[in-house]
Chain A
């Protein structure tokens, strides 16, 4: 289920947006959809925005976001793997920038092996 509010890139294919700005825009769109418009679009979601304190998202929302990220950027973007080695405090302090940087890093790797193009 990909958000209809932005162009849908081919999963892991050419056209997948991997620049920091593009991923930030994409992640922000996903979060607005998850929060069902509960004022999230008014929060000015940026790299420093935190999931818990600023967006008041629940842990289960992170699981939903993980599914959206995988569908959009491919199976190598695996939030469960990324989060599994973090301590509880790190998960609580997680920011949008952490996720964006992780996705860009994964996509950069994929690009190097020729599986994902850049916009």
Chain B
């Protein structure tokens, strides 16, 4: 996989050019979540169908994850934001992009949209919420609890017996990252967004959540926080909606990009349904 050197570290990324010759193509940037996640979760689900629909795809490993560099410190949202914009600069992506973020990746997408509104055409938030003080408080407590649990050997026995050895091994790697970096302390520090900051996010937002996911208690929260937000609730899904319901998610993402991308409109591009194209 190609790599770029951004902000002093190696960033692993993947590009799939959209299959369309009808002019400037929309660009979707896939941003994965924390812990054991990497660009693979998007590569295995959305990358090919979205690319086949004529949308340029860029996915990358966040710092400390996948095959990107893992500095011992520097894990605030400002650091993650600088990596993303740095990668766009390095790859000469100068038109506004559609940020598609899963879990923490969606939170980062909101941070980028607030800090660089001119670079973001829209946000697709999958089981995510903006980096508000309430989010930071919950995440900090969650990360500390996870780190405490993963320090116990019997946790891995339980993980192995419940989810399999593979999951237990990945969790051990995640614990190693927690112990060798300042990730747990840095991420909840933000910079966080208050109501006035959220009001500056002018781009349209699509919030995709599972009816049993992290926002099950308040599924329309984002609509109350943001100017323009549409919520889609997928039935019988928890926080893993991206991988468990990827067919539905990719349909939503493709339709969303074509609804809100000016290039698609001017070029007259009509998205080809994945099932028809693949068949």
Contacts and interface: CB of A to CB of B under 8 A. Distances in A.
Given A60-B66, A92-B166, A80 B40 contact: no
A67 interface: yes
24 contacts: A52-B164, A53-B164, A53-B165, A53-B166, A56-B169, A59-B44, A60-B38, A60-B40, A60-B61, A60-B66, A60-B67, A62-B40, A62-B44, A64-B1, A64-B67, A67-B1, A78-B48, A80-B47, A80-B48, A81-B278, A84-B44, A84-B45, A84-B46, A92-B166
B40 A59 contact: yes
Nearest to A88: B243
A35 interface: no
A84 B47 contact: yes
Contacts, number: 64
Interface of B: 1, 14, 16, 38-41, 43-49, 51-52, 61, 66-67, 164-166, 169-170, 243-244, 246-247, 250, 274, 278
A85 interface: yes
Contacts of B164: 52-53, 92
B38 A81 contact: no
Q: Which of A53, A63, A64 has the most CB of B within 10 A?
A: A63
Contact of A83 (B44, B250, B278): B44
B155 to A, nearest CB: 19
A80 B16 contact: yes
Given A58-B40, A60-B61, A80-B47, A85 B243 contact: no
Nearest to B65: A60
A91 interface: yes
Interface in A83-118: 83-86, 88, 91-92
A63 B278 contact: no
Interface of A: 52-53, 56, 58-60, 62-64, 66-67, 78, 80-81, 83-86, 88, 91-92
A58 B14 CA distance: 17
A29 B278 CA distance: 30
Contacts of B43: 59, 62-63, 66, 80, 83
A67 B12 CA distance: 13
Contact of B39 (A52, A63, A86, A92): A63
A67 B48 CA distance: 13
A26 to B, nearest CB: 19
